[in-house]
Amino acid sequence: MTKAISDNSSKKEPTRRDFLLLTAGAVGTVGAAYFAWPFIDSMNPAADVLAQSTVDVDLAPIPEGQAITVVWRGKPIFVRHRTAAEIQAAEQVPLSELIDPEPDKERVKKNHAPWLIVVGICTHLGCIPTGNKPTQTRGKYGGWACPCHGSLYDTSGRVRRGPAPLNLAIPPYMFLTDTTIRIGVEKGEA
Ligand code: FES
């Protein structure tokens, strides 16, 4: 059974309570919910994927500069196809300017710099940051903006303005092919 997260952007910003409700709704589904924007709405997981604790994601339909959200084990996972400018911005930031210093190259897989995969949960109090939808603000640093208390993340998912103390987490995942990832396992575990 899939559970799609609806677009509430026209109503109000998501809150921690919304996310908790979504999480509660997903618990009984034993698998993944999945949603994408209309222009990639043909992306749906195979039925067998839904029953597993891992989620395979076809990256090919995600245009450069865009992102989708995959729900994995009840958590929103942001899958973002970064532009060359976004990668460059992430790589050039001096670590001394970062709240939670971490090089961009340690947050992406080798030879797959365009693809940033992060857990879409603010590290302050757990709201879902905006910025995955084309209509949403990404904030001053071009990544994501948390609507709850104003934390901002950059194009590497690193926190650039608090109160969030940590970067967006990186879930376990691996590339199966150049255009397919499996979320839930690291290489060697599959
Ligand atoms: S939950 Fe994101 S800034 Fe507080």
**DSSP characters for 32-88?**
-EEE--GGGTT----HHHHTSSSEEEE-TTS-TT-EEEEEETTEEEEEEE--HHHHH
Count the alpha carbons within 13 Å of 39 in the hemisphere toward its beta carbon: 9
Ligand 1, atom 3: nearest CA belongs to which residue? 149
Strand partners of residue 174: 182
Strand partners of residue 182: 56, 174
pLDDT tens for each residue of 94-142: 999 999 999 999 999 999 999 999 999 999 999 999 999 989 999 999 9
Question: Could you tell me the pTM of the whole model?
Answer: 0.73
165 occurs within a structural domain: yes
pLDDT band at 186 (very low <50, low <70, confident <90, very high): confident
Query: Does the beta carbon of 165 sit less than 6 angstroms from any atom of ligand 1?
Result: no
Output the domain CATH number for residue 147.
Answer: 2.102.10.10
Question: How many angstroms separate the alpha carbon of residue 15 from the centre of ligand 1?
Answer: 10
The amino acid present at 61, given as its one-letter code, is P
124 occurs within a structural domain: yes
Query: Does the beta carbon of 158 sit less than 6 angstroms from any atom of ligand 1?
Result: no
Residue 112 annotated to the active site: no
Number of domains in the chain: 1
9 occurs within a structural domain: no
List % helix, strand, coil for the chain (3-state, nearest 5): 20, 25, 60
How far apart CA 63 and CA 80 sit, in angstroms, is 9
7 occurs within a structural domain: no
pLDDT tens for each residue of 39-95: 443 445 554 544 458 999 999 999 999 999 999 999 999 999 999 999 999 999 999
Domain that includes residue 25, residue range: 16-183
190 occurs within a structural domain: no
Name the catalytic one among 81, 112, 124, 149: 149
6 occurs within a structural domain: no
Within 8 A by CB and 6+ apart from 85, the residues are none
Query: Does the beta carbon of 146 sit less than 6 angstroms from any atom of ligand 1?
Result: yes
145 occurs within a structural domain: yes
For the chain, the average pLDDT equals 80
User: Which atom of ligand 1 sits closest to the CA of residue 149?
Assistant: 3
State what percent of residues in the chain have pLDDT above 70: 71
Query: Does the beta carbon of 125 sit less than 6 angstroms from any atom of ligand 1?
Result: yes
pLDDT tens for each residue of 148-165: 999 999 999 999 999 999
Q: Is the pLDDT of residue 30 over 80?
A: no
In whole angstroms, what separates CA 58 from the centre of its chain?
Answer: 14
